Amino acid sequence: MSDEFRYEPLNTDLREFRLIDLGPNKDPSSPVEITLRHASRRDRPEYCALSYTWGAPFGGLPPEWDSPAVTRLIKVNGKNFHVRLNLDAALRRLIKDGVKLPIWIDAICIDQSNIPEKNAQVQAMWGVYFQAMETFAWIGPDSSDSERLRAAIPRWTASWETWCRPLIARPSLPLKPSLPATRDEFELLLSISSDDVGYATATEDLLALSLLFRRNWFSRVWVVQEVAMSSSIVLLWAEEGSASWRDITAVYTLVVHCMETFLEFNYLSTYSDQRLKKAVMDVVEWSGYFMTFSRSSRIYQNNQLGDMDDIEHDFIDLLVTTRICNATDPRDHVYALLEMVPMDRVVVDYNLDEAEVFKSICRNFLERKNLSILGLVGPLSATRDNLPSWVIDFRLKPSRFLTPLGANSLCEGVRKKLYKAGGETTPRLEINGDSTMVLMGTLVGVLYFIGGQTISDDFVQISLQNPRPAANPQTDDRGGLIWPEKHAFYRIPRDLWMGEWIRGKPSWEAPEDMTYSWTGEPLWKAFNRTIHADIMQYTSDFGKMCLRRLGASFCTDLELLSLRKDALCYSLAERTWAVTTSGHFCLVPRGTLVGDVVMVAFGAETPYVLRPAENGQYRFAGYAYVHGFMDGEALEMKDSTGAKAPEVAFEII
């Protein structure tokens, strides 16, 4: 008789799932012993659940922690069973803590080799966490920050009532940007409870918290669902470390608010303590994963209370929000979200390969005439294998959190489209075969000039490459017409007044009398509205940016500068300025090339950038902002004879 554990099939009619009863606390050198049994969801049993990472919980551990081939032996119902190192450590911590309730753990309670069972159980995971009495989040074994975390979290949590609550009512801080940063100001910023912990302790606390947010649990895509569904969460680490999710949320809110304020006042640059600088930047950068939890939970809650017509919008919001998360299996970037916002015709099926899953989710939206999914398609890449260019490749992780223009935002406090480049029309498209999409629209122009851009901490700095001079002052080397404002723009000493353009106040060297022919505005104003994507961020609502169009009310008042700066960072992130052969001012994805075309599809929110391919076909290269063409104007565009611009069938592969 085999000593290896074998699963008994679940009774789906009884809605069975498996639960674990933990064994006694034995010698650490002995295998963990557990009992695995069947239970019915109909009986509503009391149990807890475990949330964890399959691989290494944080960097710096020996490589075997990340290797599926390295396992630990445990005993399941007296039989041999193998688990990865992090799960073995989690089981030992739970047993040490004397957890009495049965517990659900995916790697043990689901037969991972049985694909039909795995498909069914993964679809039901939301219910497992939703009904659990408590969820234990194991974030890893002992590390250099373990003891510091145990001391720091209570200190920062204690300040929630004395510091954070007043901040909500009165968000201003008693600090002045003109003052040089001193230790006194830093300690004031960190005012941790009523005890004077001192600069050194505050710095060490920040270092520990930065390492906490770096733990891989915070970046795992499945954790998004687990956090949203769980009624009570307790984080566990090392031998004794623990903290409630409420405490971690309070710490996150306090620390990030303080650190962002510290950066805003530009105090960081005056410190010589490199460890402090790294801690501050790490906390702000890695807390983005934590922000994903709050955004995703709110999307889920709104979906439960909202109109079913919002499901597609909510699912795209989730895809945008969780795009920075990690998944061992790229298919889980889709599967981990399906039960938060269910999508018709998309089900968990691990028999499908990655490409089939990616195509399935994109086709699902496109066949419903919803073009919003195209906003998530990343830049063209040689590593896309055989995926069509219009399909999201979830194997590629963005280098930074990049929000599609107008996505995951509120417009004037209400969810609605910021742009209507394709007017009020219905998208017209066909998907032929497995890889070709025919999209109807109109051609705006061919890109002739591509700029460059960088974003600094204090403001946006724009640098433009020197343009390649045209052979003829009236035509470019493709024979296309060059509009006069573009030639004049090339002749201007941009380095003298580009900063003034960004701020909306051109200096005397700027051509204030020149106009942008597509709108009749001064050229400097058209440029300024372009790099802002014609939007302003004016407030925030639970992780959603509240935006409004600048429009004709574009203002240069200095008191609005900070609001426009936030919008500028949003609009220019991973995007650059460009000009078409017809003189259109554009914002396009970084990586866009001279010769790429800009088109507007019927019913689209924004224009798209396409790259010419063989046989008159195109590859999808991203979305764009085209000044003066974001509200349906392209569909009414006239050619040189006054006739309406023709409709074009763009075949995208």
- Select from 89, 107, 138 the last residue of a domain: 138
Q: Which pLDDT belongs to residue 381?
A: 67
Judge if 79 and 152 occupy the same domain.
Answer: no
Task: Answer with the residue of higher pLDDT: 71 or 149.
Answer: 71
- Select from 302, 321, 349 the last residue of a domain: 302
Compute the Cα dihedral for 551, 552, 558, 559 and give only its sign.
negative
Task: Answer with the residue of higher pLDDT: 565 or 398.
Answer: 398
470 pLDDT tier (thresholds 50, 70, 90): very low
pLDDT tens digits, 239-273:
999 999 988 888 877 777 666 666 655 556 666 66
Compute the Cα dihedral for 490, 495, 499, 504 and give only its sign.
negative
Question: Is there a domain that residue 621 lies in?
Answer: yes
**Domains identified in the chain, total number:** 4
Question: Is there a domain that residue 232 lies in?
Answer: no
**pLDDT above 50 for 523:** yes
3-state helix, strand, coil in the chain (%, to 5): 40, 20, 40
Rank 379-393, 506-520, 602-616 by mean pLDDT and report only the highest.
602-616
**What are the start-end ranges of the E strands in 45-117?**
48-51, 71-76, 79-84, 103-104
Q: Which of 11-25, 62-76, 202-216, 454-468 has the lowest mean pLDDT?
A: 454-468
**pLDDT above 80 for 219:** yes
Burial 106-125 (b: 16+ CB within 10 A, else e): bebbbbeeeeebbbbbbbeb
Question: Is there a domain that residue 313 lies in?
Answer: yes
What radius of gyration do the chain's Cα atoms show?
28
Helices (H), 43-145: 85-96, 106-109, 115-123, 125-131
Rank 21-30, 40-49, 186-195, 300-309 by mean pLDDT and report only the highest.
40-49
- Among residues of the chain, what percentage have pLDDT more than 70? 72
Stretch 521-538: mean pLDDT: 81
Q: CB neighbours (10 Å) of residue 279?
A: 23
d(CA 29, CA 377): 49
Task: Answer with the residue of higher pLDDT: 277 or 516.
Answer: 516
**pLDDT above 80 for 399:** no
* DSSP single-letter state for residue 602: T
Q: Which pLDDT belongs to residue 482?
A: 37
148 pLDDT tier (thresholds 50, 70, 90): confident
Q: 429 has which bridge partners?
A: 439
Q: Which pLDDT belongs to residue 376?
A: 87
451 pLDDT tier (thresholds 50, 70, 90): confident
Question: Is there a domain that residue 479 lies in?
Answer: yes
Q: Which pLDDT belongs to residue 536?
A: 73
Q: Which of 86-95, 133-142, 640-649 has the lowest mean pLDDT?
A: 640-649
Judge if 646 and 512 occupy the same domain.
Answer: yes
Stretch 554-562: mean pLDDT: 49
Q: Across the chain, what does the average pLDDT equal?
A: 79
Question: Is there a domain that residue 411 lies in?
Answer: no
Q: CB neighbours (10 Å) of residue 442?
A: 21
Q: How do beta strands 436-450 and 429-432 pair?
A: antiparallel
- Select from 354, 382, 397 the last residue of a domain: 397
Question: Is there a domain that residue 83 lies in?
Answer: yes
Judge if 380 and 461 occupy the same domain.
Answer: no
**What are the start-end ranges of the E strands in 365-428?**
409-411
Stretch 105-113: mean pLDDT: 97
Judge if 575 and 504 occupy the same domain.
Answer: yes
Task: Answer with the residue of higher pLDDT: 515 or 10.
Answer: 10
**pLDDT above 90 for 425:** yes
Q: What is the pTM for the complete model shown?
A: 0.81
Angle, alpha carbons 255-256-261 (nearest 5°): 105
Task: Answer with the residue of higher pLDDT: 255 or 616.
Answer: 616
Judge if 387 and 516 occupy the same domain.
Answer: no
Closest C-alpha among 494, 470, 498, 460 to residue 594: 470
Q: Which pLDDT belongs to residue 543?
A: 46
Q: Which of 74-83, 373-382, 476-485, 518-527 has the lowest mean pLDDT?
A: 476-485
**pLDDT above 80 for 149:** yes
Judge if 478 and 540 occupy the same domain.
Answer: yes
CA 404 to chain centre: 10
Judge if 61 and 101 occupy the same domain.
Answer: yes
192 pLDDT tier (thresholds 50, 70, 90): very low
Judge if 277 and 378 occupy the same domain.
Answer: no
Judge if 473 and 499 occupy the same domain.
Answer: yes
Q: Is 167 exposed, middle or buried, given 0-12, 13-18 or 19+ CB atoms closer than 10 A?
A: middle
Judge if 43 and 78 occupy the same domain.
Answer: yes
**pLDDT above 80 for 84:** yes
Q: Which of 7-16, 305-314, 434-443 has the lowest mean pLDDT?
A: 305-314
Rank 385-389, 442-446, 494-498, 580-584 by mean pLDDT and report only the highest.
442-446
606-610's contacts with Cβ under 8 Å and 24+ in sequence apart are 606/375, 606/405, 606/406, 606/419, 606/421, 606/630, 607/421, 607/444, 607/634, 608/374, 608/439, 608/441, 609/447, 610/650, 610/652
Tokens 């679809």, located at residue: 123
Q: Which pLDDT belongs to residue 384?
A: 72
Rank 162-171, 371-380, 391-400 by mean pLDDT and report only the highest.
371-380
**pLDDT above 80 for 591:** yes
pLDDT tens digits, 306-346:
655 577 888 888 888 888 899 999 999 999 999 888 887 78
Q: Which pLDDT belongs to residue 210?
A: 81
Question: Is there a domain that residue 327 lies in?
Answer: yes
CA 287 to chain centre: 12
Question: Is there a domain that residue 230 lies in?
Answer: no
Angle, alpha carbons 271-277-282 (nearest 5°): 165
Range of the domain at 384: 307-397
**pLDDT above 90 for 632:** yes
Q: CB neighbours (10 Å) of residue 263?
A: 16
Judge if 61 and 191 occupy the same domain.
Answer: no
Q: Which pLDDT belongs to residue 648?
A: 96
d(CA 443, CA 461): 31
Judge if 115 and 154 occupy the same domain.
Answer: no
CA 238 to chain centre: 30
Angle, alpha carbons 386-391-395 (nearest 5°): 70
